[in-house]
């Protein structure tokens, strides 16, 4: 087959990558000091030997937040601690009610996780944490090829289906905030509130479950969530109900507050660009000028730079929020800012590998987020699963929202959609080398650019049949 001259350079690189990969197989040896090892050891120490769940805080209590279990599953899976990941998943499967109209609680007590009705945390089912459990199962399955927990993920999606707004004229495609006897106990509007952050979570859960199962129904539901987010929750959209003219995701339906997580998680889950070229990545510019702050961690670790929750909060730094932002910079290829903020949080790592929830330098006492605006800072200096897991994700360069299952990558690399990945696919790839734009068949990782990362994926599945 005759290739165009524009394909010569990637062809040479292709040959070099194949050669180097073979050399790497010979020279590679296990690294006992892999990045994030101290954080994995901390997470291991937090896993209760009886309950099998991880204790969310290193504070002497026994709270096990559902989202933290999901984060630990992802970290354990990536680090090769598969047995520990399975212990959590097995327990969460045990805790999942048999009926479709109920799912995991927002949190559990390690002393007795099966006690469902002991306090305000019980019998409150929230879309975000439940979506995160699906995300963790998706991640586990895509990395281990163990589909034993797939039915658990589908069952959780069954519950999420019950939260969907199905009226085409009213918030169509989005999911409500929570359900259950305890939902709305403190806020009558809570059950029907639409959280942007939680819908971002749910999008990832449906989309990657749809990819793993080749389930068009899940993919369609994911597309409805994406349409809702970019149409209603993305401020530059002409139909947005957000109260800002800037490039940001609003906090929720008719909620004018702009918060850090929606910006970082929006890009991590949905990508840099929307289907019509929406520039989601520009929300990072808003973060740099609105929730970025500097605080002293202690007398020796001073002037640490990170992010707080929203511009309305007093100055504090939340470590997991800051790591979300660092991960987002990595996601868009800005390693300078990604490294900067990740390394700033690295200055606060405890001797045992832990990282606290949050800190501020204007109050030496441990305190938590208060509703009083004059006290809206966060100084929870207990090592926390969320902070540790996200620090690990950035050490390992993981984006848990945007999985790369082998079959999905293989299908994308099979550019002509037929047979094995071979020189027919390569010729199509070479013809778009260095192109930029929408709908490029050679843009394998879907970042609107045909670059080395796409070539690397193509070589990874060279001569593979995606249907085998």
Residue 106, in any domain of the structure: yes
Residue 326, in any domain of the structure: no
Q: What are phi and psi of 249, to 5 degrees?
A: -90, 130
Residue 411, in any domain of the structure: yes
Write the CB contacts of 281 (distance below 8 Å, at least 6 apart in sequence): 267, 272, 273, 332
Q: Which of 141, 154, 130, 151 is nearest to 65 (CA)?
A: 130
Q: Given 126, 161, 196, which residue is the final one in a domain?
A: 161
Q: Which of 130-134, 183-187, 267-271 is least confident?
A: 183-187
Name the pLDDT band for 29 (thresholds 50, 70, 90): very low
Helix (H) / strand (E) element for 337: namely helix 335-346
Sign of torsion, CA 337 321 202 72? positive
Q: What are phi and psi of 71, to 5 degrees?
A: -60, -40
Q: What is the DSSP letter of 362?
A: S
Residue 421, in any domain of the structure: yes
Residue 266, in any domain of the structure: no
What mean pLDDT value characterizes the chain? 86
Residue 454 has what pLDDT?
Answer: 84
Residue 117 has what pLDDT?
Answer: 57
Q: Which of 200-214, 322-336, 352-366 is least confident?
A: 352-366
C-alpha distance from residue 443 to each of 7, 220, 277, 355, 426 (Å):
15, 22, 15, 37, 12
Indicate if the pLDDT at residue 21 is higher than 80: no
Indicate if the pLDDT at residue 370 is higher than 90: no
Name the pLDDT band for 436 (thresholds 50, 70, 90): confident
Indicate if the pLDDT at residue 312 is higher than 90: no
Name the pLDDT band for 25 (thresholds 50, 70, 90): very low
pLDDT digits (tens, 9 = 90+) for 100-114: 877 899 999 898 887
- The domain spanning residue 416 has which CATH number? 1.10.1330.10
C-alpha distance from residue 301 to each of 205, 344, 357, 450 (Å):
38, 10, 16, 42
Better-predicted residue by pLDDT, 362 or 237? 237
**What is the domain extent for residue 419?**
404-468
- The domain spanning residue 54 has which CATH number? 1.20.1050
Residue 342 has what pLDDT?
Answer: 98
Average pLDDT on 198-221 reads 94
List the beta strands (DSSP E) in 136-245.
Answer: 178-179
Residue 385 has what pLDDT?
Answer: 98
Q: Given 135, 161, 187, which residue is the final one in a domain?
A: 161
Write the CB contacts of 98 (distance below 8 Å, at least 6 apart in sequence): none
pTM, rounded to two decimals: 0.81
pLDDT digits (tens, 9 = 90+) for 45-62: 999 999 999 999 998 888
Residue-wise DSSP of 191-221: GG--BHHHHHHHHHHHHHHHHHHT-HHHHHH
Q: Based on the structure, what is the number of domains in the chain?
A: 2
Sign of torsion, CA 360 366 372 374? negative
Residue 58, in any domain of the structure: yes
Better-predicted residue by pLDDT, 198 or 253? 198
Q: Given 130, 161, 192, which residue is the final one in a domain?
A: 161
Sign of torsion, CA 9 421 148 403? positive
In the structure encoding, which two tokens stand for residue 320, read together?
A: 């997991």
Residue 424, in any domain of the structure: yes
Write the CB contacts of 75 (distance below 8 Å, at least 6 apart in sequence): 36, 39, 40, 43, 388, 389, 392, 393
In the structure encoding, which two tokens stand for residue 109, read together?
A: 């007590």
Residue 366, in any domain of the structure: no
């Amino acid at each position: 087959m005759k290739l165009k001259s524009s394909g010569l350079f990637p062809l040479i690189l292709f040959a070099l990558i194949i050669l180097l990969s073979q050399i790497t197989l010979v020279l590679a040896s296990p690294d006992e000091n892999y990045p994030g090892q101290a954080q994995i050891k901390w997470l291991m120490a937090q896993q209760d030997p009886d309950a099998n769940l991880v204790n969310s805080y290193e504070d002497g209590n026994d709270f096990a937040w559902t989202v933290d279990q999901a984060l630990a599953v992802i970290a354990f899976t990536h680090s090769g601690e598969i047995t520990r990941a399975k212990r959590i998943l097995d327990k969460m499967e045990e805790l999942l009610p048999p009926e479709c109209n109920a799912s995991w609680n927002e949190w559990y007590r390690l002393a007795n996780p099966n006690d469902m009705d002991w306090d305000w945390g019980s019998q409150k089912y929230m879309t975000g944490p439940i979506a995160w459990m699906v995300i963790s199962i998706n991640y586990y399955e895509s990395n281990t090829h163990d589909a034993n927990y797939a039915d658990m993920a589908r069952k959780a999606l069954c519950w999420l289906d019950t939260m969907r707004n199905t009226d085409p004229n009213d918030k169509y495609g989005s999911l409500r905030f929570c359900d259950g006897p305890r939902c709305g106990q403190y806020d009558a509007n809570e059950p029907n509130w639409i959280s942007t952050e939680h819908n971002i979570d749910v999008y990832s859960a449906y989309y990657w479950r749809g990819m793993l199962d080749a389930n068009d129904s899940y993919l369609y539901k994911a597309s409805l969530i994406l349409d809702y987010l970019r149409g209603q929750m993305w401020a530059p959209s002409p139909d947005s109900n957000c109260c800002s003219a800037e490039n940001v995701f609003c906090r929720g339906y008719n909620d004018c507050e702009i918060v850090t997580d929606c910006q970082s998680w929006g890009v991590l889950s949905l990508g840099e660009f929307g289907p019509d070229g929406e520039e989601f990545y520009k929300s990072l510019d808003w973060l740099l000028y609105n929730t970025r702050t500097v605080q002293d961690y202690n007398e020796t670790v001073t002037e640490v730079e990170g992010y707080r929750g929203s511009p309305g909060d007093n100055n504090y730094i939340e470590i997991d929020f800051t790591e979300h932002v660092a991960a987002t910079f990595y996601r868009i290829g800005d390693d300078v800012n990604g490294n900067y903020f990740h390394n700033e949080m690295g200055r606060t790592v405890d001797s045992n590998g832990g990282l606290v929830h949050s800190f501020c330098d204007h109050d030496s006492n441990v305190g938590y987020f208060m509703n009083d605006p004059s006290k809206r800072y966060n100084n929870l200096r207990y090592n926390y699963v969320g902070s540790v897991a996200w620090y690990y994700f950035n050490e390992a360069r993981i984006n848990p929202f945007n999985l790369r299952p082998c079959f999905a990558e293989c299908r994308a690399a099979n550019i002509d959609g037929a047979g094995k990945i071979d020189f027919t696919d390569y010729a199509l790839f070479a013809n778009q080398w260095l192109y930029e734009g929408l709908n490029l068949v050679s843009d394998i990782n879907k970042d609107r650019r045909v670059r080395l990362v796409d070539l690397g994926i193509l070589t990874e599945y060279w001569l593979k049949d995606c249907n085998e």
